Amino acid sequence: MIDARNVERLYRARGENVYALKSVTLTIRRGEYVSLMGPSGSGKTTFFNMIGALDLPTGGSITIGGRNLRDLSPPELAYLRCVNIGYIFQNYNLIEVLSALQNVVLPMEFLGLSKKEAEARAARLLERVGLAERMHHLPGELSGGQQQRVAIARALANDPSLILADEPTGNLDSNTAVTIVELLSGLSRERGVTVVSATHDHRMLDVSDRVVYLRDGRVEKIVSRAELEISVGTIAD
């Protein structure tokens, strides 16, 4: 699904070379749930943006579904992001003047689906995330957890093969965070969707197939599910 080989990301700062990523190699299988963890400045966010086709490496290669990102034109990258990748953000990034239903409909309209078909699919997705009775509410009328569930439904709108979740529980209370973690895990298992989450939340460890720890722009270690001994709720926020 995702194949990163010797990935580097170099920035120029005050006339000096600064490496955000150094020789990162990682393969993520289809249907796998992977959490990226690391302290501030570890390169976690940079790598997350790379595999989401939001940025390109200055060295090495990233392949998604057999397509090397550096070989794609800007329109091809935009199409890849729209069709193959669903994004979930810490701050939800919902459009405040649109209802929950309209927020989920929007990415489908970009692909040319009819309004009737898009609304029917959006309604099913909102029902799937437990918001059937709130679909006509504006984001400001929803709780943080409800807004994040709208964001998850929106991420699924175009039936992506990859979901990228950037600190999806960062702004949520403990109980709501567990609900979101379980929802993402269920989607990965039931739909065979690959989920990659950049997180500081240790509750993510219990549902992850692997946890990739980054430090100073490098992969420090990769821990498999069999090696994880942390259960949801045993570590305080």
Is residue 145 within 8 A of residue 181, CB to CB? The reply is no
Whether residue 108 lies inside any domain: the answer is yes
Whether residue 174 lies inside any domain: the answer is yes
CA angle at 63 for the pair 60 and 69, rounded to the nearest 5°: 80
Whether residue 41 lies inside any domain: the answer is yes
- Say what the pLDDT of residue 235 is: 41
Whether residue 40 lies inside any domain: the answer is yes
CA angle at 103 for the pair 30 and 48, rounded to the nearest 5°: 35
Whether residue 12 lies inside any domain: the answer is no
The secondary structure element, H or E, covering residue 222 is strand 218-224
The domain total for the chain is: 1
Going by pLDDT thresholds of 50, 70 and 90, the confidence category of residue 153 is very high
Looking at the DSSP assignment, which residues form a beta bridge with residue 3?
A: 27, 63
Whether residue 173 lies inside any domain: the answer is yes
- Say what the pLDDT of residue 207 is: 86
Whether residue 207 lies inside any domain: the answer is yes
Across the range 29-53, mean pLDDT stands at: 92
Going by pLDDT thresholds of 50, 70 and 90, the confidence category of residue 229 is low
CATH of the domain at 179: 3.40.50.300
Whether residue 122 lies inside any domain: the answer is yes
Domain span at residue 179 reads: 31-54+73-227
